[in-house]
Amino acid sequence: MRKQKTLFITVEGGEGSGKTTHSNLLKDYLAKSGFSVLLTREPGGTALAEALRKILLTPNSNLTPLSELLLYEAARAQHIQEIILPALKDGKAVVCDRFTDATLAYQGYGRGLSASLISKLNGAASYAIKPTLTFYLDIDPKLGLKKAKSLDKESYGKDGDRIERESRAFHQRVREGYLAQAKKEPKRIKIIKTDKNIAKTWNLIEKELEKCLKKF
Ligand code: TMP
């Protein structure tokens, strides 16, 4: 196994942007490059966090925006301590499907909660661990929502999960949130256009990844 520094890659994007497909491709690529890789997701990755995921994504609950934020952060705190930190300490490369940027985009821009509160909670729940590199898969919400609902990956029905059922305007704000964050941190967050096919999107990711791996 090759000697390495910490490699923590996160994959972000709107609904139906292809995050899961590309997270899997990232895992395979890194494994072929000699890394021992952990692929995980948020909310989720541990039994408790997966149970919180169910609560967060089941439609028709009466969660308030603040309760929603705190549940995402609780899932994160558990996930970081139980799964991500031990894997990084073991020298594994970690690929995580969504992380702290999602909270700023969805609960900050989407729900309108305070960005400074979210940053504090993100910092505490993630033990201030920052991704080495983040891919933001950009998709027009109109297209992405249609795709996500038709796939119905977690069986929430044709209208999608609780978040997918939010308005187009909500998802548009989420997109603006991600783009604003990418503008603030261009070295870490790479905007990946997803308007072509999977192979072309992967090509864009691969190029950025190769640049990053040269530093290892
Ligand atoms: P996904 O795994 O299909 O992307 O579903 C997770 C959903 O949870 C997605 O709609 C984005 C949302 N989410 C938040 O609203 N805040 C968060 O902090 C995270 C990690 C996800």
Considering the domain boundaries, does residue 1 fall inside one? no
Considering the domain boundaries, does residue 121 fall inside one? yes
CATH code, domain with 152: 3.40.50.300
Site to substitute for ligand 1 among 98, 118, 126, most atoms within 8 A of C-beta:
98
Domain count, the chain: 1
Calculate mean pLDDT across residues 124-129. 96
**CA 12 to ligand 1 center in whole angstroms:** 9
**Residue 77 clears pLDDT 70, i.e. is over it:** yes
Q: Is 16 in the pocket of ligand 1 (CB under 6 A)?
A: no
In this prediction, residue 138 carries a pLDDT of 98
Calculate mean pLDDT across residues 176-183. 98
**CA 102 to ligand 1 center in whole angstroms:** 7
In this prediction, residue 200 carries a pLDDT of 97
**Residue 169 clears pLDDT 60, i.e. is over it:** yes
**Residue 3 clears pLDDT 60, i.e. is over it:** no
Longest pairwise C-alpha distance within the chain: 48
Instruction: Band the pLDDT of 184: cuts 50, 70, 90.
Output: very high
Instruction: Band the pLDDT of 118: cuts 50, 70, 90.
Output: very high
Spatial distance between the Cα atoms of 28 and 51, rounded to a whole number of angstroms: 27
Considering the domain boundaries, does residue 194 fall inside one? yes
Q: Is 102 in the pocket of ligand 1 (CB under 6 A)?
A: yes
Domain interval for residue 200:
8-213
Instruction: Band the pLDDT of 153: cuts 50, 70, 90.
Output: confident
**Residue 23 clears pLDDT 60, i.e. is over it:** yes
Contact criterion met (CB below 8 Å) for 101 and 95: no
Contact criterion met (CB below 8 Å) for 92 and 38: yes
Q: Is 72 in the pocket of ligand 1 (CB under 6 A)?
A: yes
